[in-house]
Amino acid sequence: MTSFSEALRNATWGDHEAAEDESYLKELMGGRLSTAEYGEMVAQHHFAYVALDGVSRELADHPVAGRFVFPELYRERALERDLATVYGDGWRDRITPSKATRTLVARIEQVAGWPGGYVAHHYTRYMGDLSGGQFIRMELQRIYGYAKGGGVDFYVFDQVGSLPRFKQEYRARLDAFGETLDERERQRVIREVKLAYQLNTEVLAELLHTVRAVA
C-alpha cells in the first residue's frame, strides 16, 4: 500500500510544478529582480509565517497537530533579519500584506482547529522550504551576495541538523498521521494541500504584478 506521504506527494506534484513555474520565481532565479523586488516576497513570507508559526505555538500541546510542531522550524526571527538586511531598520513601515497573502493567512487561521488542515499548510510550506528552498537560497546568495546573518536566513535551518534526516522523520510522521485517517479524510487533507499550493502560487503571481507595475 502507498504510504500517506507518497500519496500526498503523488497527488500534488502537478500543483508543485505550477508553483515552481510561477514567473516571479523565474525572474528571481534569473537574477532579473532588484533587492527591493526580492524583498517583496520576503515581506509576504513574513505575514504568512507570523500566522503559521503563531498557529503552531498554539497547537504545541495538541495530541495530533502537536506532532508537527517543531520550534526549530519557526521562521519569524529569520524573516525579520532578512527584511532588516534588504530594507534597513525601517522595514516594518515598508511592508503590507497583499490581497493573496491575506487570503492565505485567513485560510491558515480558518483551518487551525482541524489537524488535517494545519498539517496541509505546514507540509506545503516547510517541506518546500527544506527542499526547493535550499536551491533557491544558493541562487539568491549567488545573485545578491547575501551571507548568513541576514538576506536569505529564511532558508537557513541551522537548528534542524541534517535536512534529509529531518525530512525522513517528517514523512514518517505524515505516514503515521495518515494511518489514523479514513480514505475520505485522507482525500480531504490532499485537497487542502492542493489549495495551499494554489494560495501560495497566487501570492507569487500577485508579486509579479506588483513588481511589473513598479518597473
Per CB under 6 A, residues contacting ligand HEM are 9, 16, 19-20, 25, 29, 123-124, 127-128, 131-132, 135-136, 167, 197, 200
Nearer to ligand HEM, 92 or 187 (CB): 187
Match 487561521 to its residue by C-alpha cell. Answer: 109
Whole-angstrom distance, CA of residue 212 vs CA of residue 215: 5
Among residues 112, 117, 124, which one has the least CA distance to residue 55?
112
Nearer to ligand HEM, 14 or 149 (CB): 14
Whole-angstrom distance, CA of residue 125 vs CA of residue 135: 15
Closest separation in Å from C-beta 88 to ligand HEM: 27
- DSSP letter string, 50-96: HHHHHHHHHHTT-TTGGGG--GGG--HHHHHHHHHHHH-TTHHHH--
Query: 74: which 3 cell numbers?
Result: 519557526
Nearer to ligand HEM, 10 or 149 (CB): 10
Q: What's phi and psi for 131, nearest 5 deg?
A: -110, -95
Nearer to ligand HEM, 29 or 50 (CB): 29
Closest separation in Å from C-beta 132 to ligand HEM: 2
Nearer to ligand HEM, 84 or 181 (CB): 181
The residue nearest ligand HEM at its CB is 132
Give the DSSP H/E element, type plus range, for residue 115: helix 115-130
Nearer to ligand HEM, 20 or 84 (CB): 20
Match 533579519 to its residue by C-alpha cell. Answer: 81
Closest separation in Å from C-beta 90 to ligand HEM: 28
Closest separation in Å from C-beta 150 to ligand HEM: 21
**Single-letter residue type at 98:** S
Whole-angstrom distance, CA of residue 54 vs CA of residue 48: 10
Closest separation in Å from C-beta 191 to ligand HEM: 15
Closest separation in Å from C-beta 138 to ligand HEM: 10
